[in-house]
Structure 1
Amino acid sequence: MLDLWRLEILRRFAAHGTITATAADLGYSPSAISQQLATLEREAGVALIERTAQRASLTDAGRELAEHAARILAAAETARSRMRARAGTVSGRVNVSCIHALAPALAPHLAALQRAHPELNVVAHETGSATAAAAVLEGRYDLAVIDDWSTHPPTEDSGLSVHRLRREDIVLAIPADHPLADQPGPATAPQLRQIVHDQTWLCAPTGQLSRAAGDRYLSTVDATPPRRWEFEGLHILAALVATGAGVAFLPAGLAQEQAGVTALRLAARMQRTILALTRTTTREDPAITACLHTAQQALSSSR
């Protein structure tokens, strides 16, 4: 009989490619992971790992078993979810991740959910939107709340359920005392080019989804910031705009909530979508479903 936990280790090893990375992912020592894989080889009766002095890699049999492992583990999780649905109790451990800008809005609702269900243990994490989907599929998180700044947000993919929570406009956030703060209409392309030229441009670091979307938008109006400040976190950017340090693209709700900031609509619309990600294999799990419904109630809106 092949052990499910060892199949999970093999699946993670196939994804990461090294014993060290697999051990770091699972929170074990490399020697413990090697021992578990060696035990799995004995259970399978065939060599799964080819080991050299420098590295370990999957054999053909190891790659084949890793493919089977993904299907076996998915079936096991589906069966467990259905049995939990039959029991009907909201209990157990649910790993939830959320981008930090939305955590203050989501956290009180998750805390209330735990109080309502004492046998439920929600473990909250912070993660970036770019890596969340892979983390959910790998089982590190059961639910991830992210933002997507692309024109076409993802739809349900193999193994991943995508739940749209809300769609919101992106605005140009400027200090309240800026000359254009009383302008009733949207910021035109010439105005945006002038603002970007005159003001320090505040944005996320390279690699962040908001940074990529903002840079794409600026390129469409031929605006190149001569001065950039890069900070993690949209709330930090909003606070900096309020001090008069510069201007930024921000979600409309965040810009409107920040004192000292005026939100200018953009002539060509830009939006972001707030999404919740879960695995299709857990769609019937009462605990994960309860956390998803809580996120929908806390974060869904029409703005």
Structure 2
Amino acid sequence: MLDVRRLRLLHALSVHGTVTAAAEALHVTSPAVSQQLAALEREAGVALVERDGRRLALTRAGQVLAAHTQLVLDQLAAAEADLAGLRTRVSGAVRLGAFVSAASSLLPRAIRSLRAAHGDDVELLVHEMEPEASLPALRRGEIDIAIVHAYNIMPRDVPVSCESHELLTEQVCVALPMNDPLVQQDFVDLAVLADRPWIMPRTDASCHELAQRACGAAGFVPRAQAYCDDFGVMCGLVEAGLGLALVPSLARRPGVALRPMKQPIYRTVSAVVRHRADGKPAVQVVLDQLRQV
């Protein structure tokens, strides 16, 4: 009989890549992980890990068992969710990762609505995270909900063990100072902005790749006047006349005009959870509030 607790350690090693990281994720010591993996190998009757330089790596048998373990853990989560659903009172902590503009605009309204409906029974723990970080964290079980974005010209893959719930779709717009002549137009052709300076997202963000692709399709490479992470800061720099920017309508700020592009780009905002995790009452009520707002 394979021990589920030991299987969880094997799964953690497959997800995190090292014994140290797996131990930290499960709040145990590294020697304990190694000892339990050795015991699991005796139970399985086959080598599950092997030395790869200074680290332990999964053998082919270990990879197969780790894949089955994912299914086992999903079923255990579903069982816990079904039992929790039988309780009359919804309570518990929900860990949520959200990118900046969602954290600043969607979450405050959702939190107010959540507290009005459930008081302090449902505790929301929020981490500001871009999708590139929140989706792996969700897969590792470090958060319960990841609020992520994807663009129609840049789709985003969701881990196979997770499911996505679409919250809203918004246009990506050109942010202009209020005194810019282009404010009078209903749509902006990016091609006419080739010689203008731009406020760009940092180079390792998906929003940076979006701006590069959009401007590239219009026939030019944007000349960056500034780099920053926050759409609110970008809009502030646009208002000051430092340059133009591409921002989603959710990031609208006073003092800046947002105009859609002639070749429209859309951003979809979704809440991603692990399979059956939305069956947990506390996660379900948070999802419900996000959908409402």
- Give the alignment's TM-score, normalised by structure 1: 0.85
1:157-198 C-alpha deviation (Å, 9 max, x unpaired)? 7332211111111111112222333x23322244222xxx13
Alignment of 1:220-239 (within 5 A): 220-239=217-236
1:122-163 C-alpha deviation (Å, 9 max, x unpaired)? 221121112333322332221111111233756877332211
Aligned to 1:283, what secondary structure does the other structure show?
Answer: helix
Q: Do the aligned residues in 1 keep the contact of 2:146 with 2:272 (CA within 8 Å)?
A: yes
Alignment of 1:73-92 (within 5 A): 73-92=73-92
1:204-248 C-alpha deviation (Å, 9 max, x unpaired)? 112322211111110111122233421112122112112222110
Q: Do the aligned residues in 1 keep the contact of 2:144 with 2:273 (CA within 8 Å)?
A: yes
Aligned to 1:232, what secondary structure does the other structure show?
Answer: coil
Q: How many equivalent pairs are there?
A: 291
The answer to whether the aligner puts 1:186 opposite 2:192 as a matched pair is no
Aligned to 1:87, what secondary structure does the other structure show?
Answer: coil
Aligned to 1:227, what secondary structure does the other structure show?
Answer: strand
> Structure 1 26/108 Cα, relative in aligned 2: closer, same or farther at 3 Å?
farther
Aligned amino acid, residue 132 of structure 2: A
Aligned position for 1:245? 242
Alignment of 1:1-303 (within 5 A): 1-44=1-44, 46-51=46-51, 54-105=54-105, 106-110=107-111, 112-114=113-115, 116-151=118-153, 153=155, 158-181=160-183, 183-193=184-194, 197-199=195-197, 201-255=198-252, 258-298=253-293
Shift of 1:32: 3.9
Q: Do the aligned residues in 2 keep the contact of 1:2 with 1:44 (CA within 8 Å)?
A: yes
CA distance in 2, matches of 1:132, 1:123: 13
Aligned amino acid, residue 188 of structure 1: D
CA distance in 1, matches of 2:46, 2:57: 14
Moved more, 54-63 or 280-289: 54-63
Q: Do the aligned residues in 2 keep the contact of 1:153 with 1:273 (CA within 8 Å)?
A: no
CA distance in 2, matches of 1:159, 1:206: 29
Which of structure 1's runs of 4+ aligned residues deviate more than 6 A? none
Aligned amino acid, residue 272 of structure 2: L
Aligned amino acid, residue 20 of structure 1: T
Shift of 1:202: 0.8
CA distance in 1, matches of 2:151, 2:11: 31
Moved more, 135-144 or 103-112: 103-112
Aligned amino acid, residue 143 of structure 2: Y
CA distance in 2, matches of 1:81, 1:172: 44
Shift of 1:108: 4.8
Q: Do the aligned residues in 2 keep the contact of 1:91 with 1:117 (CA within 8 Å)?
A: no
Aligned amino acid, residue 185 of structure 1: D
- Identity across the alignment (%): 29
CA distance in 2, matches of 1:117, 1:69: 36
CA distance in 2, matches of 1:107, 1:32: 41
CA distance in 2, matches of 1:60, 1:114: 48
RMSD: 2.5
Aligned to 2:276, what secondary structure does the other structure show?
Answer: helix
Shift of 1:97: 1.1
Aligned amino acid, residue 283 of structure 2: I
CA distance in 1, matches of 2:281, 2:28: 30
Moved more, 163-172 or 30-39: 30-39
Aligned amino acid, residue 239 of structure 2: A
Q: Do the aligned residues in 2 keep the contact of 1:150 with 1:213 (CA within 8 Å)?
A: no
CA distance in 1, matches of 2:182, 2:21: 51
Moved more, 286-295 or 226-235: 226-235
Q: Do the aligned residues in 1 keep the contact of 2:225 with 2:242 (CA within 8 Å)?
A: no
Q: Do the aligned residues in 2 keep the contact of 1:159 with 1:281 (CA within 8 Å)?
A: no
Aligned amino acid, residue 198 of structure 1: R
> Structure 1 209/227 Cα, relative in aligned 2: closer, same or farther at 3 Å?
closer
